């Protein structure tokens, strides 16, 4: 990667459904292709470094799910399916094709639902980072941040203690924002938490290549869950990342970028097209 700092702009796009979505764009849309990055419950800031790095190679769009970081969420937008439809509308509005959709945690679930609905064939591949979506097979289960609290959640989410947020160092406004994001996550994640029991039976219809990246020390969505998720797609590559938890793109960015580069070279553009 080059050392030049990527440029980014933030603005709001009104979609045909009437939903307004705030997006951050990294780099420039020069050829009508790009990467759509979808955050999980940690909010769009959890994708910022990943987006900046990826923008050295592609135009990157990071939407803020309505309701996160103080953005408005209409009552009619309350499911992952709603977000999947909205972001397909966003790809139409931006006139993007050949898009890699990269999602972390619940963002990966949204990405999978987008691929199932992509009747305009705008999506070229998926990159799922510690994704949720299908039901965990017992005894596997997701850790729910709303039940655990921020300290325990940080311990389970990050292998390296230096990345774990310390609530004691945060001010009232920051703590309130985190709590509000968790309430919004609970709306989209639904019940059962962070999965659709019927999703696994539909994923055989995803006909684009899929990269499933898993942190080997993920205490939120276990490694074996991610392996089962990869097995649910007909064209999936599974890549575990050592010394990483639920945010492998934050803890081990070089390994994640390497895995994506290999995936693109062998599965997405095997002839260098």
Query: How confident is residue 272, by pLDDT bands cut at 50, 70 and 90?
Result: low
Mean pLDDT for the stretch of residues 173-183: 93
Confidence category of residue 12, pLDDT binned at 50, 70, 90: very high
pLDDT value at residue 1: 43
pLDDT in tens, 135-159: 999 999 999 998 999 999 999 999 9
pLDDT at 239: 98
- Span 58-88, pLDDT tens digits: 999 999 999 999 999 999 999 999 999 999 9
The pLDDT value recorded for residue 7 is 79
Distance CA 155, CA 45 (A): 19
Digit-coded pLDDT (tens) for 219-235: 999 999 999 999 999 99
How confident is the model over 112-129, as a mean pLDDT? 98
Rounded Cα gap, residues 226 and 130, in angstroms: 7
Whether omega before 192 lies within 30 degrees of 0, making that bond cis, reads yes
What is the H or E stretch that residue 108 is in?
Answer: helix 106-117
| pLDDT value of position 52 | 96
Q: What percent of the chain has pLDDT over 90?
A: 91
Least confident of 84-98, 164-178, 185-199: 164-178
- The pair of structure tokens assigned to 271 is 């002839």
- Domains of the chain, by residue range, sit at 8-268
Element of type H or E holding 101: strand 99-104
How far is the first Cα of the chain from the last one, in angstroms, to the nearest whole number? 20
Query: What is the side-by-side order of every strand in the sheet holding 99-104?
Result: 8-14, 20-26, 60-64, 35-38, 99-104, 123-129, 210-215, 236-241
**Fold that domain 8-268 belongs to in CATH:** Rossmann fold (3.40.50)
pTM (predicted TM-score): 0.96
Cα 253 to chain center, whole Å? 15
Give yes or no for residue 3 having a pLDDT over 80: no
pLDDT of residue 2: 43
Judge whether residue 5 has pLDDT over 60.
no
């Amino acid at each position: 990667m080059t050392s030049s700092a990527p440029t980014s702009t933030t603005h709001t796009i009104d979609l045909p459904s009437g939903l307004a979505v705030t997006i951050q764009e990294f780099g420039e849309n020069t050829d009508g292709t790009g990467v759509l990055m979808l955050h999980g419950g940690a909010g769009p800031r959890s994708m910022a470094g990943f987006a900046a790095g990826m923008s050295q190679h592609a135009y990157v769009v990071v939407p803020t799910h309505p309701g996160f970081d103080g953005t408005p969420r209409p009552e009619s937008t309350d499911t992952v399916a709603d977000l999947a439809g909205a972001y397909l509308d966003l790809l139409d509005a931006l006139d993007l094709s050949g898009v890699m959709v990269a999602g972390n945690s619940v963002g990966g679930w949204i990405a999978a639902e987008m691929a199932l609905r992509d009747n305009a064939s705008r999506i070229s591949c998926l990159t799922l980072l510690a994704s949720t979506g299908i039901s965990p097979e017992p005894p596997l289960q997701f850790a729910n941040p709303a039940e655990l609290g921020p300290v325990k959640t940080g311990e389970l989410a990050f292998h390296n203690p230096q990345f774990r947020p310390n609530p004691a160092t945060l001010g009232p406004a920051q703590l309130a924002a985190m709590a509000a994001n968790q309430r919004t996550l609970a709306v989209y994640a639904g019940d059962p938490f962070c999965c659709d029991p019927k999703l696994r039976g539909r994923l055989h219809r995803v006909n684009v290549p899929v990269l499933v990246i898993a942190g080997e020390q993920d205490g939120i969505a276990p490694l074996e869950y991610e392996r089962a998720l990869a097995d649910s797609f007909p064209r999936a590559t599974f890549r575990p990342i050592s010394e990483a938890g639920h945010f492998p793109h934050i803890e081990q960015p070089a390994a994640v970028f390497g895995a994506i580069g290999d995936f693109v070279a062998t599965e997405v553009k095997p002839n260098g097209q």
